[in-house]
Amino acid sequence: MQWLVCLGLSFIKSILSLIFHVLQVFHDSITTFFTNQRQRHPKTPKNKKKVVVIGGSFAGLSAIHKLNHYSDELEVTLVDCRDWFEYIPGILRAFVDASYASNIVRKRSTTTTTESFVQGIAKQIERNNIIVSPTIGYNGNIHGSRRRTKAKENGSDGNEPETITLPYDYLVVATGSKHKHPTITPSIGSTTAENYKDRLRAFENEEQRIRSAKSIIILGGGPVGVELAAEISCHFPSKAVTIIQRSDRLLPSFPNETGIYVEQWFRQRNVCVLLNTTLSSHNERQCITTSGDVYTADVVYVCFGMKPNSDFMVANMNKTTAATNDDTSNNSDNDITQKNSIVDPNGFILVKDTFEIKENCTEEKNIDGTVTSANSIFVVGDVASHSSNEMKQAYYAEAHGHVVAKNILAMARASSSTTNKNNFFLESYPEIFTHDKSNEMPLVYTVSLGRYDGSLGFNGFVLNGPIASLLKWIIEYTKVMQMEGKAVGEYIWWIGDTVTLWMSRNILPPPSSTYQTKN
Ligand SMILES: Cc1cc2nc3c(=O)[nH]c(=O)nc-3n(C[C@H](O)[C@H](O)[C@H](O)COP(=O)(O)OP(=O)(O)OC[C@H]3O[C@@H](n4cnc5c(N)ncnc54)[C@H](O)[C@@H]3O)c2cc1C
């Protein structure tokens, strides 16, 4: 029976991937034809507004794809230290089967006709510029940017840029978050974080590590810990896998039906699940609980404790604060991050409902209800701290990107107008999707249990079993297409998001806010 389900799912996946591929080829041929027609009547170039997006993952890419529709009015530049992007919810399968990474990790295109790409680490934000430290080997040239080159005596030929100063009219900070394990989130500054081939190699090393281990401990029974344990126990059933979880059930952020199904699934596969177990310390080979029990294994994975990538904004802030306290030092008037209030206690950057950074934002309501705002810095995705306190999920990160793209366009159009410079309307989150400020965004999730099982949730509704895993695969396949900027992915998700939001508003509203808490 089990093999029949596997065979059936594999067959459906092959048929669907063929259909998606054919649709994309069909779309590409039609657009090539019409693009050729249009190029005979090129539009006159305008004085475009400069938009810089830091971070090219779910939030950043969703904003960029929307902004690219207005390339006549906006000049978009992406800054990211990685020359690749990936569909993060799928990476745990590549831990046990490194060849799977080719389905979900993509090298960024440097020949895109839309946005420009600067490969480097954002170091500092000033009022109208951002300072980027380019990765070794990056030698691109962005219109309007300034470069400070390395001194010749430092072993450099004097042509390599040390920093690049990028001017912006609007800035989108989409730098996301990091997990403790370096293969889950490669550390910024490491070659794995920069280079596509090194990223693929990291999965090969991880697979090797798991292969040669007899026992594995997973610390944390949230979605990351559960999916990793499931991949290991499916792929290597003979390994001794233990999950250690602080609370009284797995996946406490999701409804009970999912948590119970997952727990039973593990118990049937002899995975040891230790609930109500709090850690006092842990290292690469062992962990000690508060009750003094010691657990050892060949490999220990830490699957909890996510942190925001906001250090570079906070570093500016500390520099400025230090300068204020020291009369002899030079305080830079340009630094935008002046007070501690830019981040919440966990380091996430505080934003308004429009995703403008809360700090330094002066806002006035006009008589007709429109808002005049002086801010040109937006923060979206995992790194943002929004009052909804929602979970850190790719679905929400993309939704933020949509809102910001709309708001930037509204601001840019108003500022280019000769008459109504201060007259524009900014969209608010989640109101733009829920149509009512008091409503929440839908709770949508899929948890995979290996390749052929899983649990899917939509608001209060839960679907467990092989169909959930098939839906997760469809989401993954089409999301990768969308992240690549392929039209079929864009269309499918335009329909998918519209239907999801409509159902959430009209048929199956979100459950009480108990699930909608931060990890
Ligand atoms: C293992 C795992 C499984 C998950 N599964 C799911 C799931 O099933 N469903 C779901 O909805 N969510 C899931 N999530 C959460 C989801 O991946 C995140 O919510 C999402 O990635 C957030 O997107 P983001 O664009 O805000 O940031 P990120 O995806 O974290 O991307 C940030 C980007 O910014 C770049 N960057 C950071 N700092 C700098 C800097 N200083 N200079 C230049 N570039 C910088 C990084 O290189 C990166 O490209 C999962 C997360 C993990 C780790």
Q: What's the CATH class of domain 47-179+306-441?
A: alpha beta
Residue 122 Cα: closest atom of ligand 1: 42
Q: Is a pLDDT exceeding 60 seen at residue 518?
A: no
Report how far residue 226's alpha carbon sits from residue 171's, in angstroms, rounded to the nearest whole number: 36
Q: Is a pLDDT exceeding 80 seen at residue 36?
A: no
The CA 273 to ligand 1 mean position distance, Å, reads 27
Residue 77's alpha-carbon distances to 126, 161, 246, 484, in angstroms, are: 16, 18, 43, 16
Residue 26 structure tokens? 């069909």
Higher pLDDT, 517 or 234: 234
Residue nearest to atom 8 of ligand 1 (CA): 89
Residue 224 Cα: closest atom of ligand 1: 1
Q: Where are the domains of the chain?
A: 47-179+306-441, 206-303, 443-519
Q: Is a pLDDT exceeding 70 seen at residue 381?
A: yes
The CA 393 to ligand 1 mean position distance, Å, reads 8
Q: Is a pLDDT exceeding 60 seen at residue 331?
A: no
Q: Is 259 in the pocket of ligand 1 (CB under 6 A)?
A: no
Cβ atoms of residues 406 and 413 within 8 Å: no
Lowest mean pLDDT among 73-87, 113-127, 134-148, 277-291: 134-148
% residues pLDDT > 70 (the chain): 84
Model confidence over 335-353: pLDDT tens digits?
444 445 689 999 999 999 9
Higher pLDDT, 152 or 71: 71
Residue nearest to atom 15 of ligand 1 (CA): 393
Q: Is 176 in the pocket of ligand 1 (CB under 6 A)?
A: yes
Q: What pLDDT does 214 receive?
A: 97
Residue nearest to atom 4 of ligand 1 (CA): 89
Residues 279-299, mean pLDDT to the nearest whole number: 96
The CA 170 to ligand 1 mean position distance, Å, reads 22
Higher pLDDT, 415 or 379: 379
**With bands split at pLDDT 50, 70 and 90, how would you rate the model's confidence at 112?**
low
Ligand 1, pocket-test mutation among 54, 79, 88, most atoms within 8 A of CB: 88
Higher pLDDT, 19 or 477: 477
Model confidence over 356-373: pLDDT tens digits?
998 754 444 445 444 444
**With bands split at pLDDT 50, 70 and 90, how would you rate the model's confidence at 157?**
low
Q: Is 55 in the pocket of ligand 1 (CB under 6 A)?
A: yes
Q: Is 471 in the pocket of ligand 1 (CB under 6 A)?
A: no
* Exposed e or buried b per residue across 368-406, where buried means at least 16 C-beta atoms within 10 angstroms of its C-beta: eebbbbebbbbbbbbbbbbeeebbbbbbbbbbbbbbbbb
Residues 386-398, mean pLDDT to the nearest whole number: 94
Q: What's the CATH class of domain 206-303?
A: alpha beta
Residue nearest to atom 33 of ligand 1 (CA): 55
Q: What is the mean pLDDT of the chain?
A: 85
Instruction: Catalogue the E-assigned strands of 450-519.
Output: 454-458, 461-464
Q: Is 483 in the pocket of ligand 1 (CB under 6 A)?
A: no
Q: Is a pLDDT exceeding 70 seen at residue 135?
A: yes
Q: What pLDDT does 159 receive?
A: 60
The CA 38 to ligand 1 mean position distance, Å, reads 37
Residue (of 265, 294, 101) closest to 198 by Cα position = 101
Instruction: Catalogue the E-assigned strands of 174-326.
Output: 177-178, 215-219, 240-244, 272-274, 279-282, 286-289, 294-296, 299-302, 307-308
Give just the sign of the alpha carbon dihedral 297, 303, 304, 307. Answer: positive
Q: What pLDDT does 26 receive?
A: 81
The CA 199 to ligand 1 mean position distance, Å, reads 15
Q: What pLDDT does 404 receive?
A: 97
Model confidence over 64-98: pLDDT tens digits?
999 999 988 999 999 999 999 999 999 999 999 99
Residue 382 Cα: closest atom of ligand 1: 26
Cβ atoms of residues 172 and 375 within 8 Å: no
Q: Is 82 in the pocket of ligand 1 (CB under 6 A)?
A: yes
Q: What pLDDT does 156 receive?
A: 56
Q: Do domains 47-179+306-441 and 206-303 have the same CATH topology?
A: yes
The CA 88 to ligand 1 mean position distance, Å, reads 7
Residue 139 structure tokens? 């030698």
Side chain identity, residue 298? D
**With bands split at pLDDT 50, 70 and 90, how would you rate the model's confidence at 170?**
very high
Residues 106-135, mean pLDDT to the nearest whole number: 86
The CA 420 to ligand 1 mean position distance, Å, reads 38
CB atoms within 10 A of CB 354: 22
